[in-house]
Structure 1
Amino acid sequence: MCGRFALYSPYPKLSQALRLLLEPRELTPRYNVAPGTWITAVRHPSDDAPLVMDEVWWGYRPRWAKEKAPEPINATVEKVATSNYFRGAFAHHRCLVPADGWYEWLPVDGKKQPHFLCREDREPIWLAGIWSERPDGKPGCAILTEPARGVAKEIHDRMPLALDAESLEPWLDTHLTDRETIRHVVHHFSADLITHWQVSTRLNKPTHDSPVLIQQADVF
């Protein structure tokens, strides 16, 4: 799954990695991004609107859903294109969520030890997401997850779908709506790029937000 991540790269670095022209903006470094908060995403607000980097709510509930409908933070790659709840967004409202890494918890001796997972080269990671207009008229998103690959399997059986550089532009292309076409042009990045280390359990409280959270910790 993906339930917590960090984003501290400045806009110029993200813009360079994305290789797409966007309006410059100032980003506040965040080391403990939790669900139910506003997060940075890259998307087309409508089919014909230019690409923007703006804020979306991390929690997906489309406008047409009933009041007590679920508000998932993740959508699985196995069902996102076919589920009634997600397939419209998958076809028409895909987005990218930039991150410098994400967190997972490994059970150890009856406790859960958080780990930080990121690229070995420390470059930004682009997480595949979907978004929809929420009942309040504001955008909400879910991050796609897939079976864990590489060393990520040592920590959790799922991981966010992180895309390779060549897949970013087609993932954002609003004219690509067919599931099979999208599957052929969009690919996850190499599992060989992933590394991880254990971090402090201070991460467990979303109110804790500092660079210390991504530093290696030897004890609980």
Structure 2
Amino acid sequence: MCGRFALFSTGSQLSQALGLPLQVRQLKPRYNVAPGTFIAVVHRPEGDASLVMEEMWWGFKPYWAGEKAPQPINATVEKVASSNYFRGAFAHHRCLIPADGWYEWLAVGGKKQPYFLCREDREPVWLAGIWTERADGTRGCAIITEPARGAAKEIHSRMPLALDAGSLGPWLDPHLTDREALRQIVRHLDAKLITCWPVSIRVNRPGNDEDAGLINPA
């Protein structure tokens, strides 16, 4: 799964890393982004040729869902295109969630040791996501996950779907709505580029969001 991540790159750094025209906004560095908060999301508004970065609630619950409907933070790559809950967003409301890395926990001696995972070159990663209009008028999103690969596989069975540079444009293309067409074009980030290390258990507290030391090796 993907339940925590860090984002401390500036808006201009993200725009440069994206390699696509982007209306950037000021971002506050966050080192322990947790579900149930507003997070930075890149998407292409309907009828607009340019990309925008805006805040969306990390929790996916469409406006048409019932009061007791779930509010998942993740959607699996295996079911996101076919599930009644997600498939409309997969076809028409795909987005990218920028991150400098994410956290996973490994069971060690009866305890869970947190790890920070990121690119070896420390460039931002672009996590594939979907978004929806919520009943309260805001927008909510979910991060797509896939089976863990490379170094991430040693920590957890799942990982966020991080896309390679050539897939960012097609993923955000509103004209690409067919699952098979996307499958032929979109590629995940090369697993060889992913590295990880153990970090402090201070990350276990969601409130610790401004502590830059959370990503330091334990």
TM-score normalised by structure 2 residue count:
0.98
Identity, in percent, stands at: 71
The answer on 1:213 being equivalent to 2:203 is: no
User: Which string of whole-angstrom CA distances, capped at 9 and with x for unpartnered residues, describes residues 145-171 of structure 1?
Assistant: 000000101000000000000000000
Aligned match of 1:10: 10
Q: Tell whether the 8 Å contact from 2:23 to 2:50 is kept in structure 1 after alignment.
A: no
Partners of 1:113 and 1:88 lie apart in 2 by 37
The answer on 1:160 being equivalent to 2:157 is: no
Aligned match of 1:21: 21
Q: CA deviation at 1:48?
A: 4.1
Q: Tell whether the 8 Å contact from 2:24 to 2:52 is kept in structure 1 after alignment.
A: no
| SS of corresponding position for 1:107 | strand
Partners of 2:139 and 2:2 lie apart in 1 by 19
| SS of corresponding position for 2:129 | strand
Q: CA deviation at 1:23?
A: 2.0
Partners of 1:129 and 1:39 lie apart in 2 by 12
1:133 alignment partner AA: E
Partners of 2:158 and 2:106 lie apart in 1 by 12
Partners of 1:114 and 1:149 lie apart in 2 by 18
Q: Tell whether the 8 Å contact from 1:129 to 1:141 is kept in structure 2 after alignment.
A: yes
The answer on 1:137 being equivalent to 2:134 is: no
Q: CA deviation at 1:172?
A: 0.3
1:185 alignment partner AA: I
Unaligned runs of 5+ in 2: none
Where does 1:99-138 land on structure 2 (aligned, <5 Å)? 99-138=99-138
The answer on 1:94 being equivalent to 2:77 is: no
Partners of 2:141 and 2:23 lie apart in 1 by 21
Partners of 1:84 and 1:50 lie apart in 2 by 29
Q: Tell whether the 8 Å contact from 1:47 to 1:174 is kept in structure 2 after alignment.
A: no
Partners of 2:198 and 2:94 lie apart in 1 by 32
Unaligned runs of 5+ in 1: none
RMSD: 0.9
TM-score normalised by structure 1 residue count:
0.97
Q: CA deviation at 1:24?
A: 3.1
Q: CA deviation at 1:49?
A: 6.2
The answer on 1:62 being equivalent to 2:59 is: no
Partners of 1:37 and 1:176 lie apart in 2 by 29
Q: CA deviation at 1:25?
A: 1.7
Q: Tell whether the 8 Å contact from 1:146 to 1:161 is kept in structure 2 after alignment.
A: yes
Aligned match of 1:75: 75
Aligned match of 1:178: 178
Count of aligned pairs between the two proteins:
217
Q: CA deviation at 1:22?
A: 1.7
Q: CA deviation at 1:50?
A: 3.5
2:43 alignment partner AA: R
